[in-house]
Amino acid sequence: MQEITHGMGDGDCNAHSAPRTSRYRVSGMDCGSCAAKIETALRRVPGIREVRVSVQGGTVSVDHEAALGADAVVRPLATLGYGAVPADPLAESAPPACGGGCCGPAHSHDGHSHAAHSHSHFPADPGEAPWWRGRKAVLTLAAGAALAAATLLGLLVPETERWAFPLALAVGLVPVARRALAAARAGTPFSIETLMTVAAVGALFIGAVEEAATVLVLFLVGELLEGVAAGRARAGIRGLTALVPDTALIEQDGAAPRTVPAAGLAVGSVILVRPGDRVAADGIVLSGSSAVDESPVTGESVPKPKGEGDSVFAGTINADGALRVRITAAARDNTIARIVRLVEEAQESKAPTERLIDRFARFYTPGIVVVAALVAVVPPLVSAGSGGGVWTEWFYRALAVLLIGCPCALVISTPAAIAAGLSNGARRGLLLKGGAVLEALGRITTVAFDKTGTLTEGRPRVTDLLPFGGSEAEMLAAAAALEAGSSHPLARAILAVAAGRGIAPPVADEVAALPGAGLQGRVGGLAVALLSTRAAAPSLTAEQAERAAALAQAGKTVSVLLLEGRAVGLIALRDEPRADARQGIEALERADIRSLMVTGDTAETADAVAGMLGVKAHAHLLPEDKLRIVRELQARGQLVAKVGDGINDAPALAAADVGIAMGGGTDVALETADAAILHGRVSDVAAMVALSRRTMANIRQNIALALGLKAVFLVTTVLGVTGLWPAILADTGATVLVTANALRLLSVRS
């Protein structure tokens, strides 16, 4: 779906009639409660059809009618205390839009203190203050200082306690109450702000004002820790944007290269990338050769040699030679920008487990409120001769139950883990389009691999040189002479092996193609031909024909070199398996996942490659045949992942439970399938499965931790063992713990 940004007024929007999607970066959003309030508020805006919120990405996407005004999203968020600016993965930090209250006074939100201005939230954004200088930290410090002052004043002048502690409580409570009222008006009456406000006011009325003020400070500290943890989670993937240099050396009109902003590079421009420089944009090498470190983008640790015609990615590092590169993608469309955009959009799409938790949370908080009301009323009523002290005691316990009831830890338990898993994968070149894909990968039972370009390198290599009497060098020189002007993959393979052996091919004359047969010409005055075994059959002896047939049976393409009509040698070529193909398939076997090959190639070639890799091959398949095999496997109860190049495998990729495109950051690899492997390693399929299973285990741990802590403290609170302080620690502590547990996924490397 087309992505736009909303820096326009209604008049601009009316110029378009199609529905649109707009994405915003939101400042101050750091917990599940934030996401729920934002989603509820925006769904009430006329013209907005769908809302997707990513706490970890700090983004909100809305599907809306074309006539939606520019501040239709900004204004409701400003009312709730959040700032918003249009999202642009590699844009410069823009001044905040002043419509809808963005530039108004600061708002504080449930201890989520927010300035109404917004930031891009990229680490390199100069407008983003460190967390200790943010409004949230200032409010926490102010509330803590007020509590400390009230305590000290109470010790020195005891009679001041009756007004010092209420004032200290008000410092933090007033902003929280304002946000509670705003959330209730926006459709979220049971927010954590509401629960905190009711608990604090209730404690004030029963004389527990000192404890209420202390609990509020603990609450603000917990929320501050949530914000720090959320910022750490979202900084991981966005840190990729810092890999793109700010400037580039551009060549124009034959003049010396000059420095220009990288964000302004146009498609077709030519830039100079010096040794040690980062590549400023995606492009094609026009001249020069060098090794390029692609680990920042693909996770591949070994630098790749690059020469004329090779692709380079923005953010990669040129090692040892100057390269002239023609730009093929604008800054907002380069590989890093697309990776960031892909992961942020994936974080906004909810996984099945996350949707289940959200539905549960809708009933959980109102249920807690009902339980608190029953705790406050029922025990005193059933107690014979109960007095005011009994009512006060159970009312106090009910207030503690309210604080336990915040669903933040539960709501954030799943998306925090999924976001960390997606970010971890992106940094390793494993791109997953959403939590649903991440969940599904762990349940896969069968992987169907394409052959060419997936299990194999995708280009033929010379595997055998069999001269009949002469030397390999003489045979290679003659064959390379015929192929010197060809760009056919087989020709490039022969030329490559000749170059690798230092053989300079002589000049060939009268070179002509023989349709369906091969090439012929004259080299050194002698007639030379390079033909298929079928075309050369009359010139082969029985022994030579038998050797050629054996090579063909091994899945190799065999060419016969003729000199003056006499066979002088055989050249065999084959698209060889990737170096890690066998290792990758064995890793899947260890994970109890079966692998098979589906290819349109000949049975001989497919069986030869499959035999080396230890998989079953299905050959001579058209795209519809690959689709049929996937459907048959699914009908037998298998959960199937299809791995291919994203073009001729498109039907099977779409039909599979998970479609995985093998590629190097191309549009197909990033957009066709459910997932993409950037650096083309077969072993990364098993790595994806392992990441999925590890993430799901983390989610189960988080859910158990969130519900377990709340259950324990709910029981101990009702029994009178714990009070307000442990209740708030159970809430904010659980949120911080599940977030910290999810962050462990960011550092997983295998």
Active site residues: 450
Q: Looking at this protein, which amino acid is placed at residue 631?
A: R
Q: What is the rounded distance in angstroms from the CA atom of residue 152 to the CA atom of residue 497?
A: 84
Instruction: Give strand ranges (E) for 195-308.
Output: 247-251, 258-261, 270-273, 283-287, 290-293, 304-306
The closest alpha carbon to 234, from 58, 83, 84, 31, belongs to: 58
DSSP state of 663: S
Give the tokens for residue 128: 């983003």
Residue with tokens 């200088």: 133
Q: Are 85 and 22 in contact (CB under 8 A)?
A: no
What CA–CA distance (Å, rounded) separates 640 from 440? 10
Q: Using the Cα atoms of residue 598, residue 601, residue 607 and residue 610 in order, give the sign of their dihedral.
A: negative
Query: In DSSP terms, which residues pair with 511 in a beta bridge?
Result: none
Rounded Cα gap, residues 594 and 578, in angstroms = 19
- As a whole number of angstroms, the distance between CA 666 and CA 650 comes to 15
CA distance 424 to 728: 32
Residue 30 · residue 82 · CB < 8 Å: no
Output the CA torsion sign for 293, 298, 299, 305.
negative
| DSSP secondary structure code for residue 85 in this structure | E
- State how far the Cα of 661 lies from the Cα of 669, in Å rounded to an integer: 5
Could you tell me the two tokens for 11? 């008049």
CB 695 within 8 A of CB 417: yes
265: DSSP letter: P
Distance between CA atoms of 48 and 122, rounded to whole angstroms? 27
Q: What number of CA atoms fall less than 13 Å from residue 476's CA on the CB side?
A: 20
Q: For residue 22, list its beta bridge partners.
A: 4, 62
445 closest CA partner among 574, 225, 630: 630
- DSSP state, 255? P
Side-chain half-sphere of 579: how many Cα atoms within 13 Å? 2
Is 185 in contact with 228 (CB distance < 8 Å)?
Answer: no
Class of residue 378 by CB neighbours under 10 A (exposed 0-12, middle 13-18, buried 19+) = exposed
Backbone angles phi, psi at 333, to 5 degrees: -115, 10
